[in-house]
Structure 1
Amino acid sequence: MATATAVAAQLPKDETLRCWERDQAQLKADVIEQDTEEWQSNPSFSGLERVGGVDLSYVKGEDTSACASLVVLSYPDLEVLYEDCRMVVVDAPYVAGFLAFREAPFLVEAVRRLEERQPGLRPQVLLADGNGILHHRGFGIACHLGVLTGLPCIGVAKNLLQVDGLANNELHKEQIQDLQAGGDTFPLLSISGRILGMALRSYTKSTKPVYISVGHKMSLQSAVRLVHSCCKYRVPEPIRQADIRSREYIRKHAEGTSAALSRPVRMSEDADSEQ
């Protein structure tokens, strides 16, 4: 059976979006917003040994040639144990709110390759550069990756998604100024008063926060604690290393050539869909 992404390439845009929205709604029902692992309730995360990070970096000047990267770091030392970088062709269009239909297939495949090749290095939690339930329809790429891989997943965004009453206005800027030290936070409240995520000053020397939201199988409180503990700089180390290594891979293997690019491995509809 064809996947949503494969079918979408053959459909008019409005039909594509309806298809993606339907898949998001179906997958959203499987999201778990509470802690599910014993290590998550431990103040020092005792029992957590491997933290994963994913990123997809594009070849400069192109919007279809990219490098998908998965890294696994030791915890709490944050040393790289595993990395997987692969050039891919991104053939799904970018539409705001549907990032995962464009990028998630490659990142899910990277996790699956790891599980097949070195299952002992499978991450116990995955950090994604993007949002989780802080999303237009409550199902961002971190939720998408979490549901499809079965891993606890956290969304870590560098910019505020202005949705459901959230705005980068003067009040928001004042709240950021009130974050005085690394670890300081404030909640991101929807119009209805629901907490969609947290703004975190992840690094004392950084004046810009990161925006954390639940992806899957982890509470917001635990997610914030873990992200802060993974920060040597503003961006948590698993995502930072995935980004650094994907960009370096592009410099070494892909600049000026399309020969290294491979077509995406399609997901089955059973293990399906997005941001």
Structure 2
Amino acid sequence: MRVLCMCKFCLQCRPCPWVKKVNQRQIYNMSTEEQMLLKGNLITCNTEAWQSHPDFFGLQRLGGVDLSYLKEDDTVACASLVVLSYPELEVIYEDCHMVTINAPYVAGYLAFREVPVLVDAIQKLLEKDPCLMPQVLIVDGNGILHHRGFGVACHLGILTDLPCIGVAKNLLQVDGLENNDDHKDQIRKLQNGGDFFNMTGSSGTILGAALKSSSKSTKPIYISAGHKISLETAVRLVHSCCKYRVPEPTRQADIRSREFLCKKTSTANS
């Protein structure tokens, strides 16, 4: 894995520009400029041999990442990275640690808030035990299903140079996509686990897919390509690692980050 260092406001080498006192318009201008610079390197097709195999032969490790925030302070969070074996879906590596988040939440710019600490976690694994590096990352968020076609899964994928998939629990309504009656009717037609439909925006671009991840799921999950993987492959892979509604890598990352955060706060209060 190579961590890219290529943007004007480098996430790895310089303090986040939001640390300085800037107004909202400056925030938008800086972050949009960086997104567009990184987006020029985006790849939304398969790049790895295992991606084209019907059973993903050659894929051995999946990564999942998550951040859980303190309820009373959204600048303090637990960052979690888990690596699961494939196809067994057993956790073979986990790292949870407390982090300070310097950037505020701004809709459409989640990556600037969360990606730096996630890149650090992946870099830590690379240095500690490269044999356990994931071959693909699954992120609780969106890829190209985004206001500017560049969500957190794209951002993380490019900065880590890893295939990355965005999986969201709710529909991000962009480019004419709406959670309206037509959309709900399409969801009702999803009968079995693995059923899905592609979502095409007003621009004519297929932005993602709504997947019924298990036979018991009443709500779909929304999958979009992040980096170095096609949407078709992303849908197949995500479905193959769903024991429940949410894919196991992000489910385990979420569970473990919440547990770690709970223990830390309990210890601090005792």
Shorter-normalised TM-score: what interval?
A: over 0.9
Tell me by how many angstroms 1:27 deviates.
Answer: 0.2
Corresponding residue to 1:9 among 12, 19, 23: 19
The Cα RMSD (Å) is 1.4
Structure 1: segments with no counterpart, 5+ residues: 259-275
Measure how far apart 1:255 and its partner are: 4.2
SS at match of 2:244: coil
Aligned to 2:5: none
Distance 1:238 1:6 in 2: 28
Letter in 2 for 1:8: W
The question of 1:194 aligning with 2:199 is answered no
Partners of 1:82 and 1:57 in 2: how far apart?
A: 18
| 1:184 and 2:195 matched | yes
Aligned to 2:123: 112
Q: Distance in 2 between matches of 1:125 and 1:255?
A: 34
- Separation in 1, partners of 2:27, 2:265: 30
Larger relative contact order (CA 8 Å, sep ≥ 6): 1
Match of 1:204 among 215, 220, 235: 215
Aligned residues: 258
- What is the CA-CA distance between 1:57 and the residue it aligns to? 0.6
Instruction: Give the TM-score of the pair, scaled to structure 1.
Output: 0.91
- Structure 1 stretch 12-21 or stretch 150-159: which is displaced more? 12-21
Q: Please list, as runs of the form range in 1=range in 2, the aligned pairs for 1:243-262 lying within 5 A after superposition.
A: 243-255=254-266, 257=268
Task: Say yes or no: does 1:60 pair with 2:71.
Answer: yes
Partner of 1:234: 245
In structure 2, list runs of 5 or more residues that go unmatched.
Answer: 1-7
Is the CA contact (8 Å cut-off) linking 1:87 and 1:254 kept in structure 2? no
Deviations 1:1-29 (A, max 9, x none): 86466222212221121000000000001
* Structure-2 separation of matches of 1:127 and 1:78: 13
Q: CA deviation at 1:256?
A: 7.1
Q: Which amino acid aligns with 2:94?
A: E
What SS does structure 2 have at the residue aligned with 1:254? helix
Conserved in 2, the CA contact under 8 Å of 1:71 and 1:242? yes
Task: Give aligned-pair identity as a percent.
Answer: 62
Distance 1:26 1:2 in 2: 10
Counterparts of 2:102 and 2:266, CA distance in 1: 19
Which amino acid letter does the alignment assign opposite residue 154 of structure 1? I
Contact kept in structure 2, 1:51 and 1:74, CA below 8 Å: yes
TM-score normalized with structure 2 length:
0.93
